[in-house]
Structure formats: structure tokens, C-alpha cells
Structure 1
């Protein structure tokens, strides 16, 4: 255990050094330059124990830590030192191959750095920004804390196992009214991830600020201003009064919500027609009123849960209700993750939200 603790301590120190190096590019360049010189000198002094290939290490670290111009300078210096070290070896040892390999590695590192430099962020900072944006999207999809008589769950599965998804959820509680919007951006996986990040921030800002009936029209106006050509989004928006269980469902080109009636044991689709967001200037959205009694549940889901090239939405909805029927006995607890795993299509983003009013 003490050895493991020491390894973790060393790992934290290395992470701290990397973070400081990212903030001080001049210091990182100087350190890598000294490392290059030290490795070259060690290889000259003891070629048997210190191979010339060790010079690749400063190049790879430079690709992670340095700005583009600094990396180019380090690469040229590194290749020059590598060539000198190899040329100093006995004539019977191969030389040209190593210099070529070192040059190719330097070219690969520089090419990657040049792409990242277009963002204006050096090293791996661009990747860190994407991860922070992904975490922001994930955090916005977390449902708020509800009164003890209510439970709400959400699960999202991206196409192809990507951490970015074109499906996202925004929610809020205001004046004992729970508002949830499940959004499906055109495209899937990484292709839709950037638009989903933008819309999640905008729609999250609208939710709970504009009146319930104005959410979809306001979201449509925002999407129209983006001028995204033929791109669009579908949305299902529900507002639930947590005191009475009364709810309103509005939809913009989205599959209908389904309600489980605990008293009769039946499933009912909550149809609320409305056009896709972003395609019309001033669309109208109908509303479907309902009530969640103790034991009832409301399911919001994306088309990836019910539609495949071989199955239409109607049959897919029946299949989803069949899977959900098995969760009634457990009060739908943990049901969102189970349903995504069981019914979610592997080739499309899948998302589901379950709002359950518990028995008194």
C-alpha cells in the first residue's frame, strides 16, 4: 500500500509540473532545450547505455507543452543534435535511418501543433477545453432535486460510444413547477456535439426565464438567428406542477411523450404536434394537458430510442413501453439507464427522461 501511495504522490507531482509548464511556455522551452542537450551529451559519453533514440522524448513533450514557433525551434535543434550524435558513432553503425526517423517524428509533432495553433491554444489545452465543454453539457443535463414524492432520471447514450451527443437535456424548477426539455439536434455523435453545446447553453438560459408557453417559440427564434442552413432540432418540453401533478407537454417535431397510468396499468401517448425548430419563422405549438397521479410516470425520449431503418416510430414506441413495463415493480428506479441500454439504437444518439410520481 505504501508503494501505491508513493506512485500516486509522484503522479500528482508530475501533473502539477505539467500544469505549471502549460502556464509558462518559456520555462517549458528552456527545460526541454536543457533536456535535449543533456540527452545528447549522455548519448555521446555512453552510447551503450544511452541510445540516441532518447532524443525523441523532448520532441513528444514539446508537442504537448510548447507554442508552435517554440516547437519548431526545438525540433530543429533536436534534429541537429541527433544528427551530430549519430555521426559521431563508428562508421560501421547505421546513421541515416535514425536521423530520418527523428525528422519524421518532428514533422508529425509539428503538424499536430499547427492544427492546434489555429485555435490559439498551445499543446493539449484545446483538448482540455473540449473536455470542459463536454463536462458542462453533462452537468446541464443533470435534473434538479425534487420533493420526496417525486423522482426524475435521465440517461443519454451517444452514437458510436462518443462522449459528445446530439441529444441533451435542460431542466429547472421554478415556483414548484418542474420544466424539462429533451432536445435532439440534427446529426449524431461528434458531428452534432458542437451544435448541442451551443444550444444547451442557450436553451438552458431560456428555461425557467420565459413563460412556459413561450419556451419553444423563443428557442425557435434563437435557432433561426444561427443561420445553420438546413440544420434543425427537435424538442419535447414538459412542465409539471409538483403540487398537483398537472402537466403540459409541447413538442417540436419530436416523438410523443408516453404516460404510464398506475391505476389502469395502461400506457398512453401524449400527442402535441409542432414543427421542427429552425425551419419556420413563426410556428405554432399545440399543448397536451394531463395529470400524473401517485404511481404514474411520464417518459420523454429521443428518436434513437424508438426508430431504426427497419422500424417506424409507432412500433418502436410500443417496444419501449414493453421494456418499461418490466420496471413498474421497482418503481422505475434506475429505469433510465436500463432502457437506454436495452432499447437505444447503437447507430444513433439515444436519450430518455423518466418523471415518476411515487405512491403516497
Structure 2
């Protein structure tokens, strides 16, 4: 599994807030829930995203803006609009709640312009995130990012436009998956934008040596890795791998592995209530729970039991959530060099 796939697997639009509204100016929709990630795009027309304590961002047809929570934001017809803001959140997404034309899972072709001219069609999706794995992805994103029209997300918009125009059984499941697809395409475009500064792991994935090493570490995190074993699997010398990995990722391979194992362990500690510390140690590659606890405290600042007591319980596990599995080969304490 590549790094990006691993980080985004906990980001799922599972029954999330999804709205399609056709708006005639003036308007001001204030999104008050502060979701970890909210994606906004317009199929037709224009508008402005006004984030809390950030400069306004114009949003034209088929452009996409992603806002990182917990800050709120407002979608307006123009900066300084005379419209009174309407609070939009989970409860105004359903018919008859909140008095707005914002809906969950279907479109509303309301508005004053009967022929549709002068209107803006907004699509918005909010993503609940799960655990420490997803937080690594959030840490790589700015408060607001935008992607222009004409990229790989355009075909997804065509599917979204078709789906929100009807009200049929199974629609929410289709919209959820289209939202997932839309977010992946949007983030790819943003990470690859000209002149951008993507996180080190994004660029490193494309290196023929380091990319293979990262995929191995993410596919088999509990394997008894050494630098020599990883170098053998990637077809280079130990010294070549060590230097190339540190140069591109910013830290040595086994330091990266330890941090990733502790990220996996943190989610397991929250999600798997019945699992013991020894169970979780084995699941992330440690045969010795004491060695695992020492590594966890060094990386996270708390031992596993303290972390479990103080951590906020995760939301119900979404598709692709972490689970306990016992590896065929377990490393004893720290990865060997």
C-alpha cells in the first residue's frame, strides 16, 4: 500500500453531510459544524468561500476549495453580500429543517430565476475523520486549498451532477463514494500543482527505490524489518537505501517505521477496547510489550495505557478502519538496524 492510500483510508464520506443547492443572489450559507475537511465545488455560476480569519477565496464553475476544520466558513454570492447568513450544518441538511434549500443527498432547483440564469449550483461534502492516521493527512494540508477546473476531478463532477439530479434508492451510498473519489482527485491535483511544496512522503513515493521501501513498510508494518532486509527487497545496497531514504523522507527508514507503527498502535488502542497492550504490540510488530510501551512513550509522550485513558474515543469505525491482526513474524522491541 502506498503512503497516500494508507493515510486517506480513514477519510470516508460515510453518510456525511452532502448538499446540492441552486442559489439565486444574494445568499450567504454559513457552515457551522467545523468538520475536519469540507469540500466545496460549484457546477455552474460563481461564489466566494469566506473562511474564518482567512482571506476570501473565489469559487468559479468546476473549481474546488477544501477547507480544513475546525474553523467555520461562509459561502456567499459576493464579498460584503447583503444577505443574512443562514447557518448550515447537519440539521439543516434534511428537508424541513433549518428553512434552507440545503439538502442531504438530492438537489433543490429553487431560486427566483425560473430559467436558471444567474444562479449558482453548489455541491458541498463534509468528511468526518478517524484517528491518528487521518491526522497525518490533515497535518499536510493548509487551512484552505483550491484546485482549478480542467483536472482529473472534472469527470467526477459529471457523475455528481447526474446523481444529485434524481432521488433514487441507494443514492447516499453512491454520493459517498463519489465524494471519496472527488477528494482523492482534488488532493492529488493540489499536491502535484506547479511550484507546490508537497509533504516529503508525497514526492518520495515516486522515487523508484524509496517509493518501493515506503510501500513495503506500509504494506507490512509488523514485519521484522532491518535496513539490510529493506535494501534487499528494494534491490539496492544498505548504504544507498539509508542515504536516499533520509534525503527524500527526512529521517532514517527505521525511525519512520517506528513512528508509523506508533500511529497504527494509537488508533488500535482507541478502537479495540478489548485488546490488551500485548495484543496491540504484536499487531504492530513487537513481541515484547515492554519494548513496545517504551517505544510508544518515546514517540507519543505517554505510555499506551495512559494514552488509552486520555484519548477521545473515535467515532464508529468506518470502512477501512484499523483492526487487530497477528503478524506471521514479530520483531522483538525496536526494529533492528
Higher fraction of helix: 1
The structure with the larger Rg is 1
Say whether the fold is shared (TM-score over 0.5).
no
For the superposition of Structure 1 and Structure 2, which TM-score range results when normalised by the shorter chain? Answer: under 0.3
Query: TM-score, normalised to structure 1's length?
Result: 0.22
